[in-house]
Amino acid sequence: MNAPLVVVGLGNPGSAYENHRHNAGSLALRELAKRWRFPSFTNKKSFELSVGHIGEHKVFLLRPLTFMNDSGRAVREFASFYKLSLGAFLIVHDDLDLAPSSVRLKKGGGSGGHNGLKSIDAVLGNGYWRLRIGIGHPGQKDLVIPYVLSAFSKEEREQLAFTFTAIAENFPLFACGELDHFMQQVQKALMHNPEPLCVYTNTKNA
């Protein structure tokens, strides 16, 4: 029997934040659930959970109900109950340092200043997988907070639709451990975007 996988989509809870740049991870998770027909999410105190299968793999989809800087509490409560290794976790999150709608996969490494990752690192360590979704940078440090806490533009939403679909449709490859193939197929899909995007495909530990 294949080991289960936990996919955590980071973001802030509530409809007011739903389409913000900081919620790119949560939005990607929603597309994954839709593509693979997962059941409705149920409330589990500090997180929402949906459990299903992608191929032969049992997959937990988890959305923290905590705010971003307390994401670790939701992940810790799930991990303590299900007793899964840290390597079973894939955290999907926004990344200021990547071009808009680009993707990078890696395991471990620093938080890059991301408050959600800082919170998870503090309670679990950093040996989990990360799927980083680029949102671009506003250009000045003092503009970062209002930038990530603002809604995607129409153009950004259209670009992200390609990204989320590419991730979801090729996710069975990730679940099977075919990491390079997964990223190659994501890249191939994104290059069919009418406005091609830059895709990063590093699967090495950082």
How far, in Å, CA of 205 to CA of 65, rounded?
A: 29
Percent of the residues in the chain that have a pLDDT greater than 90, as a whole number: 79
pLDDT in tens, 156-198: 999 999 999 999 999 999 999 999 999 999 989 988 765 543 3
The DSSP secondary-structure symbol of 145 reads H
Does the global pTM surpass 0.85? yes
Q: Note the maximum CA span of the chain.
A: 49
* Structural domains of the chain sorted by starting position, each given as residue range(s) with its CATH number in brackets: 5-190 (3.40.50.1470)
CB neighbourhood size of 75 (10 A): 26
User: What average pLDDT does the segment 136-140 reach?
Assistant: 93
Alpha carbon distance 143, 158 (integer Å): 23
pLDDT at residue 2, as a whole number: 74
Torsion of CA 102, 104, 36, 157, to 10 degrees: -20
Q: What is the mean pLDDT of residues 8-14?
A: 97
Query: DSSP letter at 125?
Result: -
Mean pLDDT score across all residues of the chain: 90
Q: Is 181 a catalytic residue?
A: no
Mean pLDDT of 118-141: 94
User: The tokens of 127 are what?
Assistant: 């040996």
Gap between the Cα atoms of 24 and 160, Å rounded: 9
- H helical segments located in 36-112: 71-82
Out of 20, 22, 93, 114, which one is annotated catalytic? 22
